[in-house]
Structure 1
């Protein structure tokens, strides 16, 4: 009788381990997907920031070119 009890205990212990492992896998998956989303958001923010600086630089270049045209000067920009 004692052996049977022990066996059923082991079966539930194994089941608990299995459930814990499944839960851990699910948590890891959720964590990875969250990290992925955060990474994509960071990349999008960086891209926006880059395009803003690019636009600003082009704007500055345009003003500089306009100033050069107004001054009628052909010296290259430093």
Structure 2
């Protein structure tokens, strides 16, 4: 996730209004809005992320879980 300074710079580069910036800040700081379901062939679950300090939900063990694991172990 972007730092506060990086986020401010991104907002300035994209000419976002104060309302747009505030809306994005609320989304960035809120919890996920839904629980993952998983389809017939998907394997869903939770990955306990030490980096994020919470469990991350995934719906695909081949794509989403692989990316979560990669990001978790990337400095």
Q: Same fold (TM over 0.5)?
A: no
- Structure (1/2) with the larger strand percentage: 2
**Structure whose residues are more often helix by fraction:** 1
Query: Larger RCO: Structure 1 or Structure 2 (Cα < 8 Å, ≥ 6 residues apart)?
Result: 2
**TM superposition score normalised by structure 1:** 0.21
Between Structure 1 and Structure 2, whose CA radius of gyration is higher?
Answer: 1
TM score, norm. by length of structure 2? 0.22
